[in-house]
Amino acid sequence: MVTTRSASKSVGPTTPPPDRAVAAAAAATTTKSRNSAWSHAPSRITLYWLYISLPLVVWDSVYVLFRPWTMEGGPMHWPLYVPYRLYGEVDHVYGWTAFNARSGFTSAQGTLNVVETAMYFFYLYLYFSAGVRVAGRSTTKILTGRPAALAVLTVFSAAVMTLSKTVLYWLQEFFSDYEHIGHNNLYDLVVLWIIPNGLWLVFPTYIIYVLWGEIVDGLTTASTGAIKSE
């Protein structure tokens, strides 16, 4: 009898029951998926650029869309739009030359400014309202799930709009033989037109480059998960 009991104790199962093995595998898979889940957090460069550029674009859009009230002699010109008197002489698109010629390009691009600015503000709203803090990094938030997808798609589309509109702005001058800026000397052209407008080429390009990679990673993660589930 003693031998029988010893044998029965030594013969016990060395592996967990099937149901426990399946549960352990499922838990490991869930943990792995959570760790590899796609998320989004804007870079500091992106946030700093939005903090600086958005007030400037709002200021510019109001000037454009409320002309001639915002132009020299108008009730909204002083003191907020005094700098545009000089800029209107550097770039006639913003001055009396284009306005008196009833050129619609300035107001058309100003209207697009309103649309893309609203998209940038919506992105910031999503980030600060739906983002969650990262442990150990009090200044960083992360978006996950649908808010992350919506935020990335929105800001990517806005950046493409900004870059496309700025490129169009430059190409208009090139193909019109520099009709509105060709009267400037080289120093004024570089300091007052090329550098300020060039910023709206550099930073949107950077945002597009970064978010392009994030979107590709997100789609790759989603497609890989769909293939595995099949």
Q: Which residues contact 40 (CB under 8 A, 6 or more apart)?
A: 142, 143, 144, 148, 151, 152, 214
Cis peptide before 204 (omega within 30 of 0): no
Task: Please report, for residues 39, 47, 98, 126, the alpha-carbon distance to residue 138 in angstroms, rounded to integers and kept in the order given.
Answer: 17, 16, 49, 18
- Domain range summary for the chain, segments of one domain joined by +: 42-216
pLDDT band at 134, cuts 50/70/90?
confident
Query: How far is 229 from 59, CA to CA, in rounded Å?
Result: 51
Say yes or no to pLDDT of 6 above 50.
Answer: no
Say yes or no to pLDDT of 130 above 50.
Answer: yes
Task: Compute the average pLDDT of residues 41-64.
Answer: 96
Per-residue pLDDT of 159-205, as tens digits, reads 999 999 999 999 999 999 999 999 999 999 999 999 999 999 999 99
pLDDT band at 227, cuts 50/70/90?
low
